[in-house]
Amino acid sequence: MSDELTALIEQGAGHLLVTRHLNWLPPLLPGLMLMVVMLTGCDRQRPASAPPPPRPVRCVTVAPAAVSAPLLTGDIRAHDETTLSFRLEGRILTRSAEPGARFRRGDTLATLDSPQALSQMTRAQADLDSSRAAEKVAALTLHRMRLLMPSGAVARAQLDTAAADWQAALSRLRSSEAALKNAQENLRWRALTAPDDGIVIGVSASAGQVISAGEAVYSVAFGSRRDVVFDVAAPDSVSRRPDAVFHVALLRNPAVATTGHLRDVSPQADAQTRSWRVRVTLDNPPPEMVLGASATIALPAAEGEPLMTLPAAALTRLAGEPAVFVLDPLRSLVRRRVVRIAGYASESVLIRAGIAPGERVVTAGVRTLRDGERVTQTEGTSL
């Protein structure tokens, strides 16, 4: 009770003790004594509260992962992909292939209207005709000079000049022939032909569009070999061992599966996603693994690196790093510990370092636990 209430009761008791009110005192005496006892008890210091009981938590025993690697998702791509483009600039007249169309080597996929190629061809032909005529005249002049030289009708200097003129005319003729050959090649480049058998996986230009030399018109895939392409957060999470086997399965039908071997890991992270691109070549891919299909990839663990799996609910954070609560069985308390993550699955996480097999990790209520808090164990499972 407060001091104000105590003072008020004492004031009322003194008022009752006035002589003229003594006739009221005997009936109120038991109640006044009870109030005095209560006030005395309220003024005493309360005993210290008992420590809270240990919090019950659920734990699991850490064991090496049953699977050898985390599961990632990627896309099925062609092993050999490239873009097809015209070597000339101009306006596209026709485009005969659409995405998904298959073609054979030598098929014409598009044609180009290039007036410059026609003009170049005409100029090269005219220059070749002129060079042939000049070389023929120079050759006849040199022949006459050689016939007249023994009789002394021409000087030696004139013969040398005629020989030099013929050599110059001959060189110009060869240059004109090479220019005509280039012009003929450019004229053939107005038709975009397939260099090999393949399939169109993308189209970047349409008929009537004006394009520059080298601008992509088609994205094509050659051959039947297939790769699976995916991204990883850290390049060291991918095993570089030559005998490392990647298990690949279709996302929509895990029964369709095959194996693969590492082809390459991008040496630089993507500027937007800050992840590294990985390509794995598939061994005997089934027909159901068509281009563009989504697939799951099981990464093999790096050599000498055991992985441990935990429920995803066991994760918390410590100073911005992933962490878990590890149980100290001797003192019955938990300690927060930073871990290194190798990958994620749908409901679990694979741990690379930070915990050891045989330790017990809290899997429920980690958001409200404190480092060093006393706990008591409930039923759990081993992973």
Give pLDDT, residue 19. Answer: 46
Q: Residue 154: which CATH number?
A: 1.10.287.470
Q: Which residue has the tokens 């005409």?
A: 122
Domain that holds residue 325: 58-67+305-378
Q: Using CA atoms of 334, 337, 339, 345 in order, give the dihedral in degrees to the nearest 10.
A: 30
- Same structural domain for residues 323 and 277? no
* Residue 184 falls inside a structural domain: yes
- Same structural domain for residues 166 and 147? yes
Q: Residue 268: which CATH number?
A: 2.40.30.170
Helices (H), 55-114: none
CA distance 144 to 340: 93
Q: Which residue has the tokens 């060291």?
A: 236
Q: Which of 163, 189, 215 is the last residue of a domain?
A: 189
| Backbone dihedral angles phi then psi of residue 11, each to the nearest 5 degrees | -65, -40
Asked which of 7-11, 72-76, 243-247 is least confident by mean pLDDT, the reply is 7-11
- Same structural domain for residues 252 and 289? yes
- Same structural domain for residues 231 and 277? yes
The b-or-e profile of 168-182 (16+ CB within 10 A means b, else e) is: ebeebbeebeebbee
Percent of residues, the chain, with pLDDT higher than 70? 81
For residue 55, give every residue at least 6 positions away whose Cβ sits within 8 Å of its Cβ, in sequence order, or none.
365, 369, 373, 374, 375, 376
Q: How many domains does the chain have?
A: 4
CB 16 within 8 A of CB 28: yes
pLDDT tens-digit series, residues 57-70: 788 888 765 544 56
Q: Which of 164, 189, 214 is the last residue of a domain?
A: 189
Give pLDDT, residue 381. Answer: 47
SS (H, E, C) 337-349: EECEEEEECCCEE
SS (H, E, C) 170-214: HHHHHHHHHHHHHHHHHHHCCEEECCCCEEEEEECCCCCCEECCC
* Residue 124 falls inside a structural domain: yes
* Residue 199 falls inside a structural domain: no
- Same structural domain for residues 309 and 280? no
pLDDT tens-digit series, residues 330-381: 778 888 888 887 766 667 777 878 888 888 888 877 777 887 888 877 655 4
pLDDT tens-digit series, residues 231-283: 988 787 788 888 888 989 998 988 899 999 999 999 998 888 888 999 999 99
Report strand pairing: 55-61 vs 375-378: parallel
* Residue 96 falls inside a structural domain: no
> Mean pLDDT over residues 93-115, rounded?
89
Give pLDDT, residue 1. Answer: 47
Q: Residue 325: which CATH number?
A: 2.40.420.20
> What residues are paired with 375 via a beta bridge?
55
Give pLDDT, residue 127. Answer: 92
* Residue 100 falls inside a structural domain: no
pLDDT tens-digit series, residues 15-38: 555 545 555 555 655 665 666 556
- Same structural domain for residues 294 and 309? no
Nearest residue to 345 via CA among 306, 278, 381, 297: 297
- Same structural domain for residues 291 and 312? no
Q: Which of 298, 326, 356 is the last residue of a domain?
A: 298
> Mean pLDDT over residues 147-152, rounded?
84
- As given in the structure block, the two tokens for residue 333 are 């308390």
- Same structural domain for residues 174 and 150? yes
Q: Using CA atoms of 304, 301, 245, 72 in order, give the dihedral in degrees to the nearest 10.
A: -170
Give pLDDT, residue 226. Answer: 92
> What residues are paired with 231 via a beta bridge?
277
Report strand pairing: 71-85 vs 294-298: antiparallel
pLDDT tens-digit series, residues 303-335: 445 677 788 888 888 887 888 888 888 778 888
* Residue 309 falls inside a structural domain: yes
Give pLDDT, residue 76. Answer: 93
CB 279 within 8 A of CB 263: yes
CB atoms inside a 10 Å sphere around CB 366: 19
